[in-house]
Copies of this chain bind each other. A is one copy, B any other.
């Protein structure tokens, strides 16, 4: 999917919500555990109940990998289900991969071609030749970790390097990589006012924003500082939606949570 098509979906659905499918077998309603594939059953129910209110889903690959081969099967079924039932949905493999050239190419192939994700998150530490293999894929996005929303973000990402913080250096440098137009960036909402400065550096790119609500960044602030005329934002919510309830109507409640966020987003989009 292209950025333009993503923007069109956002305006159509009045939502820039991404639902994180961080599906942990220990946290899903226990009655699902007797199903043949509990993780897929959970994801399917969540997707059916929330797809109207979001434009993207983001499985965090760790949760699937942690369950071994069954996890990969559940991931494959989930992405196939999205492609078949809701092809208008944008998909993000939250994998945070990054390795030397040839190896990154293997990861890119796995997520873009074999699983058919629209995008994958990638760590910048190993530099240009670890990221460019991902950027070669047409109509696929590479979402580079820039400023994450966890406490450890302040260990290295905000260190001063040549007079500016490392995460800003990552953004600036990556703009010069081949096919940089296929880049998006992870920027946590922990300090929404950072987004204003970030927009001076990367005025156009989509930002994937975790940490809205949970760690303090408000949706209104994120939009105030980060929104562009093409929106340029995907705001992620995972646990607050998918684990809003563990009763038999968990999907319905997840849908209501997603709808509440969508309504707030619709208001923000009206300001454009």
Query: What residues of chain A have their CB less than 8 Å away from a CB belonging to chain B?
Result: 22, 24, 60, 62-63, 65-66, 68-69, 72-73, 76, 94, 96-101, 103-104, 106-107, 109-110, 114-115, 123-131, 145, 148-157, 159-162, 166, 169-170, 173
Contacts of A128 in B (CB 8 A): 151-152, 155
Inter-chain pairs besides A62-B107, A156-B166, 5 sampled, C-beta below 8 Å: A62-B99, A65-B110, A66-B106, A123-B125, A124-B125
Contact A148 B68 (CB under 8 A): no
Q: Which of B62, B127, B169 contacts A97 (CB 8 A)?
A: B62
B68, B104, B129: the one within 8 Å of A72 (CB): B68
Do the beta carbons of B126 and A148 come within 8 Å of each other?
Answer: yes
Decide yes or no: A160 and B157 within 8 Å by CB, A69-B76, A97-B96 being known contacts: no
Q: How far is the CA of A108 from the CA of B18 in the complex (A)?
A: 26
A160–B65 Cα gap in the complex (Å)?
A: 36
From known contacts A154-B127, A157-B127, A173-B155, infer whether A69 and B73 are also in contact, taking CB-CB under 8 Å.
yes
Q: Which residues of B contact A100 (CB under 8 A)?
A: 148-150, 152
- Taking the closest CB of chain B, its distance from the CB of A206, in whole angstroms, is 20
**Nearest neighbor of A153 in chain B, beta-carbon distance:** B127
Establish whether residues B110 and A68, one from each chain, have CB atoms under 8 Å apart when the complex forms: yes
Out of B73, B94, B152, B170, name the residue touching A126 (CB < 8 Å). B152
28 A-B pairs whose Cβ atoms sit less than 8 Å apart in the complex = A22-B103, A62-B97, A65-B107, A69-B72, A69-B73, A72-B72, A96-B99, A96-B123, A96-B126, A100-B152, A123-B125, A124-B125, A124-B156, A125-B125, A125-B157, A126-B153, A126-B157, A127-B152, A127-B153, A127-B155, A127-B156, A130-B152, A155-B173, A156-B173, A159-B161, A159-B162, A159-B169, A166-B166
Q: A209 CB to closest chain B CB, in angstroms?
A: 14
Residues on the B chain within 8 Å of A123, using CB: 96, 98, 123, 125-126
